[in-house]
Structure 1
Amino acid sequence: MVLSGPHQSVRPSVLFGRGGSVRPSAFETLPLFWAPDASSGLRDLSSAVELATRLGLPVEPSKVEGPSTTLTFLGIEIDTVSRELRLPRDKLLRLKGIIEEWRVKATKKSSVTKHQLDVLVGLLSDAAQVVPAGRPFIRQLIDAKSELKRASHFTRLSPGCKADIFWWSAFMEEWNGTGLFPTRTIGPVITADASGSWGCGAFLEGPCFWFQVQWPSEWSQVNIAAKELFPLVVAIAIWGPQCKDSQICLNSDNQAVVSALATRSAKDPFLSHLLRSLFFFLAHYNISYRAQHIAGKRNRAADALSRNKLNEFLSVFPQAPKSPSPIPGSLLSMLLDIKLQWTSTHWKELFRASLERV
């Protein structure tokens, strides 16, 4: 267990159930104990209290919780039966109201205080414990408040802060406040590639799905990193139901794409737009991922798709079906339009349509 200071009391809590072997990362170093059943939980709790007493650390009995299959810890409801993490309803409603207020501020040249940013970042940090895909969209807000010394000091929202607020505003319209337990087991594997001239393609191992997309003429000058990321975004969008509630592996032979996925950020505006769209689908389907770089010579199947060499793809990947997975036109419109404003009304309409038709 980890203690905040020598004068604070220990607050051990015990959960038992199916989540015992996988702890949400936010709770890994805190006095929250997991056990396979109630009797084991009681034993672990007793040992923890005994150890704290021997070390001279006070234990507040009213703060000890469990064993239970459901409890609230650090403001997050944890349920080992349904394997869910939940933002309490009152906190969810408060967050939705505050996000709407900030959305209005972001559309104007409003100044905000460090204290206001502190409140917003705190609520979003809680939400991001439930939806890890939202974590990248707090960074700009944290940086903004860190530049202010006092709670009453003002600042104007940067374009990056506004983009983060718009991401959360759009996501909150769809979110019910729940997320499932993370898993350490790598599930489906998606491998993608893109060519600078013809197009891109990707395939999903296991169920054996694939697709390819030919670049429109206006994409002739789009940088190769954006082209390499594009098929991964499409893959998550159309195969999200098959990958739902799992950790997947994303394979790419482009190091810039792997780095952008690892850092969850990109300086290039269009690459950043694709990343934000990707995280919408990841959050919607409760998918986590591990990005992996593979050598180009090991990426023959996806490379063949990106160059429209279908016979070569089928020879390398013979178990693949003869027909590709369908891609909603609304999804392609949302991702291929390089002038489409992020989370604009039209963007949201296309996003919802892509979910309905996928």
Structure 2
Amino acid sequence: MHHEFSILNLLHFLDDYLCASVGQAVANRQLAILLRAFSYLGVPLAPAKVEGPSRTLTFLGIILDCEKMEARLPDDKLADIKRLLTAAGINPTLSQRELESLLGSSPSLQESSRYQQPHYRISLTTECQEDIQWWLRLLEQWNGKSFFLFPDWTPSPDLELFTDASGTLGWGAFNSGRWLQGTWSPEQLAHSIEWKELYALVTAYCTWGKEWRQLRITMHCDNKAVVDCIRSGTSKSPPVMTLIRGLFFVCARFNFNVTAAHIAGQSNCIADSLSCFRMEEFRRLAPAAQAQPEEAVLPFQSM
């Protein structure tokens, strides 16, 4: 569409299309070109569903408002989602139709469900039930509105955010001269190094996430398994998956996005010195750092 018809900024999801433009004249021209292109290609249209050009319109059931720079759910849709999730949380054995309604309102649950024959009652997996509880906790605090994110990703060096975990001692996080640090309890010590690395990361996000509203943040990490978990949003380990849900809960609550990139361990030396309690080395590497660590908001304290 871009090369053949000069249609820019076209978003396509199944049989729904969204074309974004700057200025009324450009928007009118883009819409006219798009309609002619569909006619030429034989793409059927539902004229009653064609919206715009407008600074506020509905796409995939979500209201996009360029005046307020926010995306929001209609009140009735938000109420329906709460009702479906509450019902599924009370009785996790659903009919095929109930499951389809639930998945239609919360697509992230699709990976956790297991389809059976249509005439059977379907029992949601443990993972799916935990995802439902995640949504219910979020909807207690979220009004269905999110501001548009800034278009560019904020790289970790610009943000100066680094986290690290030691397998036997503790964890640390460093952010523009501010820092966090903690030791492992006997229960935490038994967890895998992936869990510990994620714990440090989620703690940093719980503590500082409210300052990153509308940003897209690239987090650099020296543990490839953790990077893969963040990129995929899933893990086969239930304890790790609990932390992943916590990480994305904070992202959703404070309206920012996160991705991860792998870096070599020697590039993460400040956070490494904190996690191993090598304080003289930390002061040498970060002489302008605050005198004392900040009080950490531990995972799930504010959820």
TM-score by length of 1: 0.75
Question: How far, CA to CA, are the matches of 1:53 and 1:199 in structure 2?
Answer: 63
1:124 corresponding residue in structure 2: 106
Distance in structure 1 (CA, Å) of the matches to 2:38 and 2:153: 37
User: 1:326 aligns to what SS in structure 2?
Assistant: coil
Identify the residue that residue 253 of structure 2 maps to in structure 1: 284
Contact preservation (8 Å) 1:229, 1:274: yes
Task: Find the aligned partners of 1:58 and 1:264 in 2 and give their Cα distance.
Answer: 36
Query: Among residues 31, 35, 44, which one is paired with 2:30 in the alignment?
Result: 44
Shift of 1:30: 4.9
Give the match's secondary structure for 2:162: strand
Report the CA distance between 1:56 and its aligned residue: 4.7
Once residues 33 and 74 of structure 1 are traced to their aligned partners in structure 2, the CA distance between those partners, rounded to angstroms, is 13
Q: How does 1:101-180 map to 2 (within 5 A)?
A: 101-106=87-92, 111-125=93-107, 135=108, 137-141=109-113, 144-145=114-115, 148-150=116-118, 152-180=119-147
Cα displacement string for residues 45-103 of structure 1 (whole angstroms, at most 9, x for unaligned residues): 12222333344555554332211110012211111222211111111011111111111
Task: Give 5+ residue unaligned stretches, structure 1.
Answer: 2-13, 15-19, 126-134, 335-349, 353-358
CA 138–246 in structure 1, closer or farther in 2 if over 3 Å, else same: farther
Q: Contact conserved, 1:199 with 1:213, CA < 8 A, in 2?
A: yes
Residue identity over aligned pairs, in percent, reads: 33
C-alpha distance in 2, partners of 1:63/1:124?
A: 23
Separation (CA, whole Å) in 2 of partners of 1:28 and 1:38:
26
Answer yes or no: is the 8 Å Cα contact 1:189–1:251 preserved in 2.
no
Query: AA paired with 1:43?
Result: R
Instruction: State the alpha-carbon separation in 1 of the partners of residues 117 and 203 from structure 2.
Output: 43
State the match for 2:236 in structure 1.
Answer: 267
TM-score, normalised on structure 2?
Answer: 0.88
Deviations 1:306-326 (CA, angstroms, capped at 9, x unpaired): 011223123223343333222
CA distance in 2, matches of 1:166, 1:55: 45
Amino acid of the structure 2 residue aligned with 1:167: W
Find the residue that maps to 1:351 and give its secondary structure: coil
Residue 78 of structure 1 aligns to a residue whose secondary structure is strand
State yes or no: 1:198 paired with 2:169.
Answer: yes
Q: Deviations over 1:151-191 (max 9, x none)?
A: x3322222122112211122221121122324441223532
Given that 1:69 and 1:79 are in contact with CA atoms closer than 8 Å, whether structure 2 keeps it comes out as yes
Distance change (3 Å), C-alpha of 1:33 and 1:202:
same
* 1:246 is the counterpart of 2:197: no
Show the counterpart of 2:75: 89
| Match of residue 343 from structure 1 | none
Structure-1 separation of matches of 2:146 and 2:90: 27
- Out of 167, 176, 182, the position equivalent to 1:213 is 182
Gaps of 5+ in 2: 2-6
Q: Is the 8 A contact 2:56 2:64 kept in 1?
A: yes
